[in-house]
Structure 1
């Protein structure tokens, strides 16, 4: 019970990764104050309240990324804050309103509250590899990406990469704010996350697996990388529990072709009807690179093999009737 007596806040707690973070924190004995957008929406609250330890040590709060002071009540008296809340969308009509404002303003609002809450010792922010790999010149196959790599906002804008832009701007703002105010902040940068779902609805990254099963190629790419939600959640908790944890931690899986991913799924689930992909592969210019995972492994995070992640993802999708 590492967390006995400690109180932590998780923003955007009803989300896919955030729910796993809450689950892990409760199992480790923490008292969790979780923010959701709508306290009366059972799709946001029911799966959280069903977690082991929730009755005793979970309290839900309403908070909105765009409202100043919205997180004050939830963060009051907390030892640490996990800021995971940020929209994940790749098709948007108004990137500023749908992605950039909630990501950037939300981060500032949460950090502002942390700054004036003297009990908060450390903040763990969920960023993304999207804030790492969009650069000019583009990454080459022999490039080894590590925590020193940042996406370039101007390249994101030129290529209309709105989601990477939102994550990059939000992370930049967070580093600036934390440095200016002498705050202890750790950032986790995961790639596309898969693994079992605790929430009732389909989230974006697991939706990519559903797309592949249905014969669609979500990004018209040949290569994909996936990292397991349980590993990413553990990295967040380890980032709190390891006093020496600092800076950023990249987490991503091995590069796999969409064909290989489908082969694994066919082997695991011979009865599952996996459609052939419509011939659109390789239309987009692929950014291929290597990833250095040494830093996150030093936190004590082991990586779940892709085969296990895919298996557990599909079992979970079937259980929730999402396939």
Structure 2
């Protein structure tokens, strides 16, 4: 498939996944109109404008999730819209205003703009494993989670899992709107995303991973991580557009792994590091509780990065940005 001259929009372009998505799209020859929250904030724009091909084929637009018509000009003339923009916060004072409205209204706002674009072939929507594994039935040892699993927003709200609720409600709303308005929508549901950072600010998942490595602070109480490499996630988005047979949703999880195993990999890579001693043999030796199927996303052509490479590249990137000091 020749990508030369093809125009595709990326919303929320300064984010962790979206920055890689823009980089890989430019490398493939696409022309990319992309949206950021503020054109006046160099932290949102400079790293994007510095990418190879940006000078010739990247244009930035300001757009706000909850503002009607905000995305109209950015999506005009596009063959695909990659909608990645959505708030990522785990602790909130006002879940409705901070998470649910921007996620749900934002998705609908982008899709309303999309429905006005005659050239549009597909919308690729960034959802999350948060919209997969938080249902009335939770995954247990031996389960193989796949795209047929769905989170339940009521279960999420009862457990105060507001981020998970927002992602589930946004995916539900996006699917419903697309069906009612004849849009071809494909959802990408990544796990806990790690990997090298392109943007100057520390995103939520990288910060959580850094705290785990440096201080042994768990992100998840059960110490189980559904890891996905940011480069694999970005590539899954692109292949979900480029493959005409792509449909519905795709789980993107390279490994379901416990923190004790993550720390053993860190130990092996950085033998002088003593932060991980608490995760030596003897703690958390129970088997993995479940797995996530790679079958559907691998059918698109996604080749998963080995977990050791993802962990090493994450740490090296954090060191390069002077966020980790070992």
The TM-score range, normalised by the shorter chain, is: over 0.9
Could you state the TM-score of these two structures normalised by the residue count of structure 2? 0.94
Q: Deviations over 1:105-124 (max 9, x none)?
A: 00000000000111111100
Q: Does the CA contact (< 8 Å) of 2:254 and 2:305 recur in 1?
A: no
2:174 is matched with: 174
1:85 is matched with: 85
SS at match of 1:116: coil
Check if 1:322 corresponds to 2:320. Answer: no
Q: Distance in 1 between matches of 2:300 and 2:61?
A: 30
2:259 is matched with: 258
Q: Distance in 2 between matches of 1:70 and 1:261?
A: 41
1:206 is matched with: 206
Q: Distance in 1 between matches of 2:278 and 2:207?
A: 15
TM alignment of 1:1-323, pairs within 5 A: 2-215=2-215, 216-274=217-275, 288-323=289-324
Q: Deviations over 1:276-312 (max 9, x none)?
A: 569xx99xxxx94321110100000011111000000
Q: Does the CA contact (< 8 Å) of 1:217 and 1:277 recur in 2?
A: no
Q: Does the CA contact (< 8 Å) of 1:87 and 1:102 recur in 2?
A: yes
Residue 81 (structure 1) shift: 0.3
Residue 28 (structure 1) shift: 0.3
Q: Which segments of 5 or more consecutive residues in structure 2 lack a partner in the other structure?
A: none
Q: Distance in 1 between matches of 2:58 and 2:95?
A: 34
Q: Distance in 1 between matches of 2:226 and 2:185?
A: 26
Q: Distance in 2 between matches of 1:194 and 1:63?
A: 26
Could you state the TM-score of these two structures normalised by the residue count of structure 1? 0.95
Residue 221 (structure 1) shift: 2.5
- Residues 109 and 277 of structure 1: CA distance in aligned 2, closer, same or farther (over 3 Å): farther
Q: Deviations over 1:65-97 (max 9, x none)?
A: 010000011011111100000011111111111
Q: Does the CA contact (< 8 Å) of 1:38 and 1:62 recur in 2?
A: yes
SS at match of 2:255: coil
Residue 270 (structure 1) shift: 2.5
Q: Deviations over 1:36-67 (max 9, x none)?
A: 00101111000000100000000000000010
Q: Distance in 2 between matches of 1:255 and 1:153?
A: 23
Q: Distance in 1 between matches of 2:16 and 2:135?
A: 28
Q: Deviations over 1:167-193 (max 9, x none)?
A: 000000011001001111111000000
Q: Does the CA contact (< 8 Å) of 2:267 and 2:276 recur in 1?
A: no
Q: Distance in 2 between matches of 1:29 and 1:273?
A: 45
